[in-house]
């Protein structure tokens, strides 16, 4: 991984943890999800229009197709992630969904993108699986002490969305001639927002429900929109030249940051098992990057 790609990955990870922490503290998750993504699309619309006039990238049918696939997978990811935060702590959801994603990417990357991995990464896979299991086992309801199966299941499913859009982004951004990162991301955001709007309209008929968080938490909506968009621009740019397995794994330095944020900022009970599992996941991801 080159220095420029590593820098983009690290910046994306920090921004990603910040906006996930804010999502966890938001009220109506469905309204918050819709507003932040629609505003993110609007934020991208200005540089997209400027780039199309000044220095356009290539947006042929294959590029648009992969951008659409990415948008579909992002919609799947957003719906599940925001729902997971309704049922489990940040220090559970984040390590599980981010830790499993690189494993899924590694299983498919060779065939779909041609990105190879080394033998040491098999050990990394085992560590990530063990760490994820430890975090999952530590995900317990405060009142009953029972496993929070729904939150855990949603977190696991969210990982499939992350893997899906990461692979689609890598395929689209590695085409030659190819698009610019902002242009590719804007197209995927359009698809994401169309699907998310349809889903929200089905679940929450009427505009009042969809805009509820704009009235209650306008500052949070604006901040998450900006952080989310910038985080994705960084990672899509990194995927233009970086190995998708290493990029997806490398950005998960955020797992440790999310565990700290859960304990220090959100006052979650981060048990020894949960903390140890996060460290093991991080160690496994480090092997994936270094191997």
Peptide bond into 165 cis (omega under 30): no
**Predicted TM-score of the model (pTM):** 0.81
Chain mean pLDDT for the chain: 81
pLDDT > 80? residue 120? no
pLDDT > 80? residue 209? no
The model's confidence at residue 8, banded by pLDDT at 50, 70 and 90, is confident
Question: What's the whole-number mean pLDDT along residues 186-208?
Answer: 87
Q: Is the CB of residue 133 less than 8 Å from the CB of residue 192?
A: no
- Region of 206 (left: φ > 0; alpha: ψ -120 to 50; beta: rest) is left
What pLDDT is recorded for position 242?
Answer: 67
Best CA proximity match to 79, nearest among 114, 125, 33: 33
**Which element (helix H / strand E) includes 281?**
helix 272-290
pLDDT > 70? residue 139? no
pLDDT > 80? residue 116? no
Structure tokens at 248: 């997806």
Give the Cα separation of 193 and 37 in Å (integer): 7
The model's confidence at residue 144, banded by pLDDT at 50, 70 and 90, is very low
What pLDDT is recorded for position 115?
Answer: 60
The model's confidence at residue 72, banded by pLDDT at 50, 70 and 90, is very high
Best CA proximity match to 44, nearest among 188, 220, 178, 164: 188
Cα-Cα-Cα-Cα torsion 253, 255, 256, 257, nearest 10 degrees, comes to 90
The model's confidence at residue 157, banded by pLDDT at 50, 70 and 90, is very high
Give the Cα separation of 5 and 69 in Å (integer): 23
What pLDDT is recorded for position 41?
Answer: 95
The count of other CB atoms within 10 Å of the CB of residue 131 is 24
Structure tokens at 97: 């969904």
Q: 86-110: per-residue pLDDT in tens? A: 887 777 787 778 777 777 877 776 6
What pLDDT is recorded for position 35?
Answer: 93
The upper half-sphere exposure of residue 228, i.e. CA atoms within 13 Å in the direction of its Cβ, equals 28
Give the Cα separation of 284 and 98 in Å (integer): 12
SS3 140: strand
């Amino acid at each position: 991984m080159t220095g420029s790609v590593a820098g983009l990955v690290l910046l994306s990870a920090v921004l990603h943890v910040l906006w996930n922490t804010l999502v966890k503290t938001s009220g109506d998750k469905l309204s918050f999800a819709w507003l932040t993504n629609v505003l993110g699309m609007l934020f991208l619309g200005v540089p997209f229009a400027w780039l199309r006039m000044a220095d356009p990238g290539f947006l042929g049918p294959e590029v648009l197709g992969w951008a659409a696939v990415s948008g579909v997978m992002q919609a799947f990811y957003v719906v599940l992630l925001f729902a997971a935060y309704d049922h489990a702590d940040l220090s559970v959801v984040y390590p599980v969904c981010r830790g499993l994603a690189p494993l899924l990417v590694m299983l498919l990357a060779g065939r779909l993108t041609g990105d190879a991995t080394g033998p040491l990464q098999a050990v990394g896979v085992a560590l990530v699986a063990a760490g994820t299991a430890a975090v999952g086992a530590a995900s317990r309801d405060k009142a009953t002490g029972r496993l929070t199966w729904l939150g855990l299941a949603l977190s696991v499913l969210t990982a499939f969305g992350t893997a899906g859009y990461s692979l689609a982004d890598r395929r689209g951004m590695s085409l030659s001639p190819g698009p610019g990162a902002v242009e590719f991301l804007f197209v995927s955001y359009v698809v994401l927002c169309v699907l998310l709007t349809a889903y929200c309209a089905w679940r929450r008929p009427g505009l009042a429900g969809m805009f509820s968080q704009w009235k209650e938490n306008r500052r949070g909506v604006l901040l998450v929109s900006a952080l989310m968009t910038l985080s994705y621009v960084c990672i899509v740019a990194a995927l233009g030249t970086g190995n998708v397995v290493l990029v997806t794994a490398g950005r998960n330095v955020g797992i440790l940051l999310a565990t700290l944020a859960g304990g220090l900022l959100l006052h979650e009970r981060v048990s020894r098992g949960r903390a140890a599992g996060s460290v093991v996941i991080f160690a496994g991801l480090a092997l994936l990057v270094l191997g």
